[in-house]
Amino acid sequence: MRQSYDTVAEEYRSRIGGELAHKPLDRGLLTALLEQTEPGAPVADLGCGPGHVTAWLAERGAPAVGIDLSPGMVAVARRAYPEAEFREGDLLHLPAADAEFGAAVALYSIIHLAPEELRPAFEEMRRVLRPSGLLLVAFHLGSHVLHHTEWWGHEVDVDFHFLDMAAVSALLRDTGFAVEATLERTHHAEEAETRRGYLLARRAA
């Protein structure tokens, strides 16, 4: 997967980098997360891709840190958004200290994890969050896996796991989070035709 995202990194930013402009619900949820985060506390963007969400958070005053598995994505993000910090790292072994972040977002990054990896990933997210820190997770809803060998004309090898809302909620609760909000929406015109799920969860003290 790392190599696949390296391959599409530049095109990904050109196609997806402006997506928040037509995602009012996403902007609203990100704003709600920031409003409930201690001022000055770092906010992590886990699976940040080319860094556009990290930059959006930074533009609103958060010390934002983007983390991504793909060195190509991290390089693109650093060039495009020098005002934010970016690190190369794995959701299962986050390059961050215990309780480093006041909040975190993981928008469509857990969809690349195998089912057995979700629990350790959420445990890692809990580890790097401060007590009562918020986590916003977004994913495609369903129970199947899409395997792509071609993406925007590039040869890739990447799986997209569609996830069940109740199952993800239960895993978050099992790993020390209290789920505070559950939302679903259909796709926007500019998006792939999938239903989207959002969970806003708070790390237990």
* pLDDT at 7 > cutoff 70: no
Scanning 24-132, the segments in alpha helix (DSSP H) are 24-35, 52-59, 71-80, 118-128
> Domain residues of the chain, as ranges?
2-203
Euclidean distance between CA atoms 125 and 123, whole angstroms: 5
- Per residue in 136-166, pLDDT tens? 999 999 988 877 565 556 565 667 789 999 9
Containing 193, the helix (H) or strand (E) segment is none
User: Per-residue confidence at 56, pLDDT binned at 50, 70, 90?
Assistant: very high
| Model pLDDT, residue 19 | 84
Pairing of strands 196-203, 177-185: antiparallel
Torsion over CA: 22, 25, 29, 34 (sign):
positive
| Model pLDDT, residue 50 | 93
| Model pLDDT, residue 192 | 76
For 67, the 3-state DSSP assignment is strand
* pLDDT at 195 > cutoff 90: yes
Contact 82, 66 (CB under 8 A): no
Euclidean distance between CA atoms 128 and 183, whole angstroms: 24
CATH placement of domain 2-203: 3.40.50.150
Containing 203, the helix (H) or strand (E) segment is strand 196-203
Which range of 15-29, 96-110, 184-198 scores highest in mean pLDDT? It is 96-110
* pLDDT at 4 > cutoff 70: no
* pLDDT at 15 > cutoff 50: yes
| Model pLDDT, residue 148 | 59
| Model pLDDT, residue 205 | 77
Euclidean distance between CA atoms 62 and 136, whole angstroms: 15
| Model pLDDT, residue 24 | 94
User: Per-residue confidence at 12, pLDDT binned at 50, 70, 90?
Assistant: low
Name the burial class of residue 75, with classes exposed (0-12), middle (13-18) and buried (19+) by CB atoms within 10 angstroms of its CB: middle
The three-point CA angle 12-14-18 to 5° equals: 100
- Per residue in 95-122, pLDDT tens? 999 999 999 999 999 999 999 999 999 9
Contact 146, 130 (CB under 8 A): no
User: Per-residue confidence at 190, pLDDT binned at 50, 70, 90?
Assistant: confident
Structure tokens, 53: 């969400």
Residues in a beta bridge with 177: 203
pTM (whole model) above 0.85: yes
